[in-house]
Amino acid sequence: MNQEDFPILNELVHGRRLVYLDNAATTQKPQVVLDAITEAYSHWNANVHRGVHHLSQVATQKHEEAREKVAQLIHAHSSEEIIFTKGTTDSLNMLARSFGDAMVKEGDEIIISQLEHHSNIVPWQMLCERKGAVLKVIPLCEDLSLDLEAFKGLLNEKTKLVSVAHVSNVLGVVNPVEEIIHLAHERGIVVCVDGAQSVPHLVMNVKQLDCDFLVFSAHKMYGPTGLGVLYGKKEWLDKLPPAEGGGEMIEHVSFEKTTYNVLPYKFEAGTPNYVGSYAFGKSIDYVQAIGLENIAKHEHALAEYIEQELNKIRQVKVYAAGKEKAGAVSFNVYRADGALIHPFDVGVLLDRQGVAVRTGHHCAEPLIDWLGVPGTVRASVGLYNTKEDVDVFISALKKAIMMLE
Ligand code: PMP
């Protein structure tokens, strides 16, 4: 699908055609996104919101149009609910700071899960340390699904917020966030969904999902780095204090009293990444022209094909085998005597054959500890990957195993 739109896919790596299967870490950019960045700096670069001059007005308009596109992408009620951040990590830190300052006190509880990315663990841990609150963790079942019975048992009157990944960045599994949101809302508890791995791979509808907050990064969806989104229901964003102070986020400043700007600017201190938002708008146009459902179907089929081919290799163990996945498959390779071949060694030998995969703990050490391994090898797909890419990867993996066994 559309490989020719992505110039980087023509690169040779160690003399081989690049087979890029590290899309969960970041995606490559289509020419329209690269052109958008050059266009912005070549033709209308100016700081937004503050200027009466022409270029500033053009830049402001393009930045705000991009916000509209993001609102439409995730089916938000309005673009006021879209806060531009530096990325998923920044969004989660902002939320933990803002929600924590306003809503969390000593003895309160925050719930996350065993399979979270560090960026959905550490900001909540820091909040708990600041406030004397307690972090609770949804455990995993043997089959690596979230233990919803245990989750129900964790919910109580002290629980202030639940924050969970929609799709695990390690396992690729789709978590039952609808049910988690329903169970939490029954008790009046707020839910944040980490959509870093779901927004690029599924059709996201925050109205239907009814999450209170959603966070994701542009760079994982064919957009630029340094840009992310914090979506929040307006009623919550209105209620919460800003997490950062500075220009843009104020209405009036005096030494006695500062008043804050309206949404979404209240949460956007300083010069925003308006070139990034414009380029992200172009990547949203790009995926929408192909169709998010078509992309999801294509990636789902590829992930299934990867899993099916991995299952045929005797030495390979796939994690969360047979589970519904969106984009990523994790595995390890074992010698005949049962010893694990270090994922790093597998990754290096794949790289020598032009195949880019990720190895290690994938910024999810608690999950990797739970699995009892030093890490995994993860192959993750994007819209431009093909069945042929998977065939090259599988044959490279077989070669690597022969060398390592
Ligand atoms: N959460 C999940 C599930 C992720 O996969 C990632 C990125 N690997 C993040 C959060 C952090 O995203 P970023 O590094 O773009 O802030």
Atom of ligand 1 nearest to the CA of 87: 16
Q: Which residue has the CA at smallest separation from atom 6 of ligand 1? A: 196
Q: What is the mean pLDDT of residues 126-151?
A: 98
Q: What is the mean pLDDT of residues 249-274?
A: 97
80 CB contacts (<8 Å, ≥6 apart)? Answer: 234, 237, 262, 263, 264
Cα–Cα distance, 242 to 156 (Å, whole number): 27
Q: Dump pLDDT digits (tens) for 221-239.
A: 999 999 999 999 999 999 9
What values do phi and psi take at 358, rounded to 5?
Answer: -105, 145
Residue 117: CB within 6 Å of ligand 1? yes
Is the pTM higher than 0.95? The answer reads yes
Clarify whether 363 is annotated catalytic: yes
Residue 31 CA, ligand 1 centroid: distance in Å = 24
Residue 120: CB within 6 Å of ligand 1? yes
Residue 244 CA, ligand 1 centroid: distance in Å = 21
Q: What is the mean pLDDT of residues 320-338?
A: 95
Atom of ligand 1 nearest to the CA of 165: 3
Residue 392 CA, ligand 1 centroid: distance in Å = 27
Residue 89 CA, ligand 1 centroid: distance in Å = 6
Cα–Cα distance, 48 to 353 (Å, whole number): 46
The answer to whether residues 232 and 211 touch, using CB atoms and an 8 Å cutoff, is no
Cα–Cα distance, 229 to 7 (Å, whole number): 26
Residue 224 CA, ligand 1 centroid: distance in Å = 14
pLDDT at 405: 86
Residue 217: CB within 6 Å of ligand 1? yes
397 CB contacts (<8 Å, ≥6 apart)? Answer: 310, 313, 316, 333, 346, 350, 355
> Which of 119, 121, 202, 280 to mutate to test ligand 1, by most ligand atoms within 8 A of the CB atom?
119
Q: What stretches of 27-81 adopt beta strand conformation (E)? A: none
Atom of ligand 1 nearest to the CA of 169: 5
Q: Of the residues 128, 192, 211, 363, which is catalytic?
A: 363
pLDDT at 29: 98
- Residue 134's SS3 state is strand
Q: Which residue has the CA at smallest separation from atom 5 of ligand 1? A: 169
Mean pLDDT of the chain, nearest integer: 97
pLDDT at 305: 98
Atom of ligand 1 nearest to the CA of 91: 16
pLDDT at 1: 65
Confidence of residue 105 (pLDDT cuts 50, 70, 90): very high
Q: Dump pLDDT digits (tens) for 37-92.
A: 999 999 999 999 878 999 999 999 999 999 999 999 999 999 999 999 999 999 99
Q: What domains are defined for the chain?
A: 32-289 (3.40.640.10), 291-404 (3.90.1150.10)
Atom of ligand 1 nearest to the CA of 90: 16
What values do phi and psi take at 109, rounded to 5?
Answer: -125, 145
Q: Dump pLDDT digits (tens) for 1-24.
A: 689 999 999 999 999 999 999 999
Conformation bin of residue 276: beta by default, left when phi > 0, alpha when psi is -120 to 50:
alpha
Residue-level length of the chain:
405
